Amino acid sequence: MAGKVIFKRGEAKHLTLSVSQDGSAVDLSGATLFLGVKKSKTDSGFVLSKTDGEFNKSQAGDGVVSVFLSESDLDQEAGLYVAELKVEFPDGTIDKSLDLALVIEPAVT
Protein backbone atom coordinates (compact mmCIF):
# COMPACT_ATOMS: atom_id res chain seq x y z
CA MET A 1 0.00 0.00 0.00
CA ALA A 2 1.16 3.52 -0.75
CA GLY A 3 0.33 4.92 2.67
CA LYS A 4 -2.27 5.14 5.42
CA VAL A 5 -4.66 7.96 6.26
CA ILE A 6 -6.61 7.95 9.51
CA PHE A 7 -10.04 9.55 9.97
CA LYS A 8 -12.52 9.59 12.85
CA ARG A 9 -15.96 8.21 12.06
CA GLY A 10 -18.37 10.98 11.05
CA GLU A 11 -15.83 13.80 10.72
CA ALA A 12 -15.49 15.96 7.61
CA LYS A 13 -12.03 16.50 6.12
CA HIS A 14 -10.11 17.18 2.96
CA LEU A 15 -7.98 14.36 1.59
CA THR A 16 -4.93 15.71 -0.23
CA LEU A 17 -3.10 13.44 -2.64
CA SER A 18 0.32 14.00 -4.21
CA VAL A 19 1.01 12.05 -7.38
CA SER A 20 4.58 11.40 -8.43
CA GLN A 21 6.50 9.01 -10.62
CA ASP A 22 10.20 8.30 -10.23
CA GLY A 23 10.42 11.12 -7.67
CA SER A 24 8.92 13.80 -9.92
CA ALA A 25 5.44 15.32 -9.68
CA VAL A 26 2.99 14.13 -12.32
CA ASP A 27 1.19 16.95 -14.13
CA LEU A 28 -2.51 16.24 -13.60
CA SER A 29 -3.69 19.27 -15.59
CA GLY A 30 -6.52 18.19 -17.86
CA ALA A 31 -6.71 14.72 -16.31
CA THR A 32 -9.99 13.15 -15.20
CA LEU A 33 -9.89 11.78 -11.66
CA PHE A 34 -11.87 9.15 -9.77
CA LEU A 35 -11.38 8.03 -6.17
CA GLY A 36 -12.90 4.69 -5.19
CA VAL A 37 -12.98 3.32 -1.64
CA LYS A 38 -13.92 -0.24 -0.69
CA LYS A 39 -13.94 -2.22 2.54
CA SER A 40 -12.10 -4.98 0.69
CA LYS A 41 -10.53 -5.10 -2.77
CA THR A 42 -12.82 -8.01 -3.64
CA ASP A 43 -16.04 -6.08 -2.87
CA SER A 44 -18.13 -5.39 -5.95
CA GLY A 45 -19.16 -1.86 -4.98
CA PHE A 46 -17.61 1.21 -3.44
CA VAL A 47 -18.53 2.40 0.06
CA LEU A 48 -17.66 5.87 -1.17
CA SER A 49 -16.43 7.39 -4.39
CA LYS A 50 -15.55 10.84 -5.70
CA THR A 51 -15.74 11.89 -9.32
CA ASP A 52 -13.65 14.41 -11.22
CA GLY A 53 -15.85 17.45 -10.53
CA GLU A 54 -15.51 16.95 -6.78
CA PHE A 55 -11.71 17.40 -6.79
CA ASN A 56 -9.87 20.65 -6.15
CA LYS A 57 -7.32 20.77 -8.95
CA SER A 58 -5.80 24.20 -8.26
CA GLN A 59 -2.35 22.57 -7.85
CA ALA A 60 -2.86 19.80 -10.44
CA GLY A 61 0.12 20.97 -12.48
CA ASP A 62 2.30 20.15 -9.47
CA GLY A 63 0.70 16.71 -9.02
CA VAL A 64 -1.39 17.74 -6.00
CA VAL A 65 -5.17 17.38 -5.79
CA SER A 66 -7.62 17.28 -2.91
CA VAL A 67 -11.16 16.11 -2.37
CA PHE A 68 -13.59 16.83 0.46
CA LEU A 69 -14.87 13.85 2.43
CA SER A 70 -18.09 14.85 4.16
CA GLU A 71 -19.44 13.73 7.50
CA SER A 72 -21.73 11.27 5.71
CA ASP A 73 -18.85 9.98 3.54
CA LEU A 74 -16.91 9.10 6.68
CA ASP A 75 -19.91 7.79 8.62
CA GLN A 76 -18.79 4.23 7.88
CA GLU A 77 -18.17 1.25 10.10
CA ALA A 78 -14.84 1.61 11.89
CA GLY A 79 -12.05 -0.34 10.24
CA LEU A 80 -9.57 -0.54 7.41
CA TYR A 81 -10.59 0.45 3.87
CA VAL A 82 -8.67 0.39 0.60
CA ALA A 83 -8.73 3.33 -1.82
CA GLU A 84 -7.41 3.86 -5.33
CA LEU A 85 -7.03 7.00 -7.40
CA LYS A 86 -7.73 6.48 -11.09
CA VAL A 87 -6.27 9.09 -13.44
CA GLU A 88 -7.28 9.36 -17.09
CA PHE A 89 -4.98 11.68 -18.99
CA PRO A 90 -6.12 13.76 -22.00
CA ASP A 91 -4.39 11.31 -24.39
CA GLY A 92 -6.58 8.45 -23.06
CA THR A 93 -3.86 6.85 -20.92
CA ILE A 94 -5.24 5.51 -17.64
CA ASP A 95 -3.08 5.10 -14.54
CA LYS A 96 -4.14 3.80 -11.16
CA SER A 97 -2.39 4.59 -7.90
CA LEU A 98 -0.93 2.14 -5.49
CA ASP A 99 -3.45 1.10 -2.86
CA LEU A 100 -4.04 3.70 -0.16
CA ALA A 101 -5.17 2.48 3.26
CA LEU A 102 -7.95 4.54 4.83
CA VAL A 103 -8.61 3.83 8.47
CA ILE A 104 -11.84 4.97 10.05
CA GLU A 105 -11.57 4.99 13.83
CA PRO A 106 -14.50 5.10 16.24
CA ALA A 107 -15.34 8.57 17.49
CA VAL A 108 -15.87 9.37 21.15
CA THR A 109 -18.76 11.73 20.43
pTM exceeds cut of 0.85: yes
pLDDT value of residue 2: 58
- Tell me, what DSSP letter sits at residue 27? -
User: CA-CA distance, 33 to 71, in Å (whole number)?
Assistant: 21
User: CA-CA distance, 17 to 31, in Å (whole number)?
Assistant: 14
Looking at residue 86, its amino acid is K
Domains of the chain: 3-105 (2.60.40.3350)
pLDDT tens string, the chain, 109 residues long: the values are: 457 899 999 999 999 999 998 989 999 999 999 999 999 999 999 999 999 999 999 999 999 999 999 999 999 999 999 999 999 999 999 999 888 999 999 988 7
Q: What is the pLDDT of residues 40-53, one digit of tens each?
A: 999 999 999 999 99
Nearest of 36, 44, 26 to residue 86 by alpha carbon: 36
Can you say how many angstroms the Cα of residue 18 is from the centroid of all Cα atoms in its chain?
Answer: 10
- Classified as helix, coil or strand, 61 is helix
Is residue 28 within 8 Å of residue 19, measured between CB atoms?
yes
